[in-house]
Structure 1
Amino acid sequence: MKNTPNTALLVMDMQIGIVSRLADPKPVLANVTKAIAHARKAGVPVIYVTLKFRPGMPEVSSNNTVFASFKAQGAPMDTEAFAQVHPDLAPQDGDIIIKKLRYSAFPGNDLDMILRAQQITHLVLTGISTSGVVLSTLREAADKDYQLTVLSDGCADHDEEVHRVLNTKVFPRQAQVMSVEEWVG
């Protein structure tokens, strides 16, 4: 599917502290770089969504199993260095940067308001990880009635089998799944 006039590219959790956890981030970085270049050339807004907590992570409840364990381990998820977008994908003037507080791109920020104000109805999703931010954002965005495309090779996960299953069996129920090359072609 080609871009609709009301499309935005979401570049999610592609920040230094998350990218550095991948065994080989080069392929996904190269693919997302290509998607960003295509979006900019086509006039599609590029929106960066990053995970960023305040110092000490006061937004994390002990009831939130995953983030509470990161907090207990002293993971640096509350630092600027962790939250900085990977330099290969650096935002440019005019790009929007959203900070989030949970897996999905929507909680704790004004992403939905910005999308609606810009009359964006179609989201193209990229991000790390496929089973985290991409899955959670896809589910919430579908419930908010956004049209969705997932760029399968613009996403990465620590578990390749989970990545494959999500892109071939789960995501197609609510989104069009395609490669970056198909999207830019």
Structure 2
Amino acid sequence: MKLLKNNGFIAFVRVNFYDGKDALQPNAMISLPPKEGDDYSHFHYLLDKRDDDFVIDKRQFSAFVGTDLDLQLRRRGIDTIVLGGVATHVGVDTTARDAYQLNYDQYFVTDMMSAQNETLHQFPIDNVFPLMGQTITTNDLLNILN
């Protein structure tokens, strides 16, 4: 994380709903959205998130829809993003599609993503992400940054 922070701007993105009023309405295909304080609204300690780091609270699948992520990136002159996260086929995929339409160059760090099963994880990596950017590993990213 230190190398990433030294080479650019990091926006930590999490799913977070406040009192449930702004949550997506669940249907048969989607489980109930997390509530404030659920594990989804906290960052794993290995991410080394600091109090002064930039945090985006998303309420939709995309990190761009309903947030100021695009504004914050453009203010800083950022035109390339690095994506990882959960779930590969939902949050990462939807964010990637929006980023592509907003004209961002993208790196997809495939070993920094996960999904409920290997099929859901692998399909966008093999079939969708290569259309919008480069699929790489964490080691590839470290080599690019060094």
Tell me the TM-score normalised to structure 1 length. 0.70
- Residue 106 (structure 2) aligns with: 148
Selected match of 2:23 from 43, 55, 60: 60
Aligned-pair identity (%): 25
State the alpha-carbon separation in 2 of the partners of residues 95 and 59 from structure 1: 24
Query: Once the 2 structures are TM-superposed, how far is the Cα of residue 95 of structure 1 from its aligned partner?
Result: 2.1
Higher relative contact order (CA 8 A, sep 6+): 1
Residue by residue, what CA displacement relative to the aligned partner does 1:43-79 show, whole Å, maximum 9, x if unpaired? 3111100110011x111354x53797405xxxxx122
Answering whether residue 35 of structure 2 is matched by residue 78 of structure 1, we say: yes
- Count how many residue pairs are aligned between Structure 1 and Structure 2: 142
Paired residue for 2:8? Answer: 44
Q: Is the 8 A contact 1:60 1:67 kept in 2?
A: no
Aligned counterpart in structure 2 of residue 133 of structure 1, from 91, 101, 118: 91
- For 1:65, what is the secondary structure of its paired residue? coil
Question: Over aligned residue pairs, what C-alpha RMSD do you find?
Answer: 1.9
Query: What is the DSSP-based 3-state SS (H/G/I as helix, E as strand, rest coil) of the residue aligned with 1:155?
Result: strand
Secondary structure of the corresponding residue to residue 116 of structure 2: coil
- Render the CA deviation track for 1:125-159: whole Å, top value 9, x for unaligned: 01011011100000000011111110010111112
2:3 maps to amino acid: H
Q: CA deviation at 1:80?
A: 2.2
SS in 1 for 2:35: coil
| Amino acid corresponding to residue 48 of structure 1 in structure 2 | F
For the residues of structure 1 that align with 2:29 and 2:48, how far apart are their CA atoms? 26
Q: Using a 3 Å threshold, how does the CA distance of structure 1 residues 78 and 93 change in structure 2: closer, same or farther? A: closer
| Structure 1: 5+ residue stretches without partners | 1-35, 72-76
Q: Is the 8 A contact 2:24 2:59 kept in 1?
A: no
SS in 2 for 1:92: coil
Contact in 2 for aligned 1:153/1:179 (Cα 8 Å)? yes
Verify the 8 A CA contact 1:61 1:68 in the aligned structure 2: no
Q: How much does 1:100 deviate?
A: 0.6
Q: 1:121·1:147 contact (CA, 8 Å) conserved in 2?
A: yes
Match of 2:65 in 1: 107
The structure richer in helix per residue is 1
